[in-house]
Structure formats: structure tokens, C-alpha cells
Amino acid sequence: MEKNKRYVIKSLISLFAAATLIILSSTAAQEVEPEVPFVPTPLIVVEQMLKMVQVGKDDVLYDLGCGDGRIVITAAKKFGCRGIGIDIDPERIRDSRKNAIEAGVQDRVQFKQMDLFQAEISEATVVTLYLLTEVNLRLRPILLRELNPGTRVVSHEFNMGKWEPDESTTVRTGDQENPYVEDYWDLHEMDYWDSHQVYFWIVPANVTGTWKVTIPDITGKNELTLKLDQEFQRVRGEAFEGISPIPVFIKDEKIKGNILQFTMERKLKGRTESMHFEGRVQDHIMQGTLKIEGRPGKEKVKWKARLVN
């Protein structure tokens, strides 16, 4: 009996040891090294980044690779938004939490120690980055897939390859006073460069495909076909009334978030009619208002399109 008891206890201990080993080795396998070292964005550049994307109190800002939390904390303190910082390095997360308390914004910010590639980011309305081009390029399909159209992305120094920025600017830091120096930041931080590049993108909706456009209350056929093709925010289009082609001009050749503006020029009773469309895309529907140039009494009409292919 005594022998049996000892056998059971020994087996349990071996089982526990084996389970612990499995857990430890799988945790070790999952451990990810930082892909980019910690180099803080100078506070003057932080300010420019936040102004460029026009952060406001209704925004939810994610800084992927948040370092000491300065972007998230500045955004919460100066612009009133909610912020989430993600960093793989536990020391950075400890610093960020301490800085948030000293800045008095701990109720509006959150810091999570994890791999940024594993983070759930779909609630973000603003994403900030200071990584490397190669890391941005791996992140690019995730941003385009997970973020809602219209979400603003701003990156310090590094671009996104073929996804061209909607705007970019150079911030010169050389001899400027830092407007955001607060005692919770290291006042003696080094700025290794006196000029910094900032890139800004708006996540585009996907409009590729064939759309049936319905214009309810104008003369002529009230259904047109619009074929759109897209690479990132760049959009090209062609339209048809029956089988007759109609020239289409996409405003700036771009979609801005989920807003598409375009003009169609069709021949009607011997004259050319310019139809200026503005529409909002949601899932497989695009709808908005249409202004027909030179048509008295028909200032703006509603239009709608559905994706058919």
C-alpha cells in the first residue's frame, strides 16, 4: 500500500515536471526579440506627428513599439485621446506606466507587453510607428486588413514602400525649443539627427470591382456600370452606359479613406454633361450625392451603387 502511494506521488511529480518543461519550452519558443532598438522620437517630432494626423479626443491611438510611452502619453495629455502602447520589452512597459502616472493620464492610457505583430489593433483610429522600413513592410498588409478605412497611420522616418504616403513633411529639430518638455521626460535626451521625416497615410477602403450605379431622378438611362481598379489608395476607373464608354476622372486619382469622388462626362442630346459624384463606401455599397453641372433646378441628387463583381 505504502509502495503504491509512493508510486502514485512519484508519477504525479514526473507528470508535473514534464508539463512544466513543455510550458517553459513553448514560452521560450514564443519569445520574440525586439526587431528595432529603443530610440525615442524627439518630443518636437511627436508633436508634429500628432498634429499631422489631427488627433482629437474621440481618437484611439495605438503606438506599435511604444518605447517610453511618449507618443501615447503626449497624445492623451495634450489632445485628450485614449491611447494604447505596445512594446515587447518589459523595461519599456514599466517606464511607460511610470511616465503615464507622472503625467497624470494613467486612466486614459494602457501599455501592453507583447509582440506588435500579435496585437489586436482594429479599434485604432490612429496608429503611430517608429520602426524600420522592413518592419513597416511586414506590418503593411496587417494595417490594410485590420484597420477600418479612414484610420490614420503616421510613421517617423520610415516609409511603407509602394504604399505611398498621402502626405509627408520634414521636421527640423536643430535649434528649436522643445514645447513639450515636462519633468517626466529625460531633459537631456540626445537627438542624433537635426532633421526628421514624417509620413502620413489614410487607410483606403477596397473598391476594386464592378459597380452598378443607380441615379434615380435624371433623364437618360439611370443605371451605369463603373469598373474600378486599385493599388493602395490609387484608383483607376472606367464607366459604361450600356456598352458605350463614358470617361471617368477620379479626384486626385485616389480614394480618401472610404470617400471616393469622381466625375463622369457623358454625351446627352448633343452636349457633354459633367456629373460630379461623391460617395461613401461601406462593404458592398457606395452612396452619396451627385451634382450635375449646368442643370438648372437639379443641384444635387442622391446616388447609390452596389458591387456586383
Ligand X SMILES: C[S@@+](CC[C@H](N)C(=O)[O-])C[C@H]1O[C@@H](n2cnc3c(N)ncnc32)[C@H](O)[C@@H]1O
* Contact positions vs ligand X (CB under 6 A): 32, 34-36, 38-41, 63, 65-67, 70-71, 86-89, 92, 115-116, 130, 156
Q: How far is the CB of 80 from ligand X (least distance, A)?
A: 20
Q: How far is the CB of 232 from ligand X (least distance, A)?
A: 24
CB 154 within 8 A of CB 127: yes
**Sign of the Cα pseudo-torsion (171, 176, 182, 185, in order):** positive
Cβ-based nearer residue to ligand X, 115 or 164: 115
Cβ-based nearer residue to ligand X, 117 or 249: 117
Closest among 108, 139, 128 to 64, alpha carbons compared: 128
CB 133 within 8 A of CB 111: no
Cβ-based nearer residue to ligand X, 50 or 307: 50
CA-to-CA distance for 167 and 112, rounded, in angstroms? 30
Q: How far is the CB of 65 from ligand X (least distance, A)?
A: 2
Cβ-based nearer residue to ligand X, 128 or 230: 128
Cβ-based nearer residue to ligand X, 95 or 273: 95
CB 294 within 8 A of CB 281: no
CA 298, chain centre distance (Å): 38
Angle among Cα 96, 102, 104 to the nearest 5 degrees reads 100
User: Which helix or strand (DSSP H or E) is residue 113 part of?
Assistant: strand 109-113
Quote the cell numbers at residue 12. 504525479
Q: How far is the CB of 16 from ligand X (least distance, A)?
A: 32
Cβ-based nearer residue to ligand X, 38 or 240: 38
CB 78 within 8 A of CB 50: yes
Angle among Cα 215, 216, 217 to the nearest 5 degrees reads 110
Cβ-based nearer residue to ligand X, 194 or 238: 194
CA-to-CA distance for 157 and 302, rounded, in angstroms? 43
Q: How far is the CB of 79 from ligand X (least distance, A)?
A: 16
**Closest CB to ligand X: residue number:** 65
Cβ-based nearer residue to ligand X, 92 or 266: 92
CA-to-CA distance for 275 and 135, rounded, in angstroms? 43
Q: How far is the CB of 253 from ligand X (least distance, A)?
A: 32
Closest among 110, 106, 104, 107 to 123, alpha carbons compared: 110
Quote the cell numbers at residue 147. 484597420
Q: How far is the CB of 107 from ligand X (least distance, A)?
A: 21
Q: How far is the CB of 132 from ligand X (least distance, A)?
A: 8
CB 184 within 8 A of CB 40: no
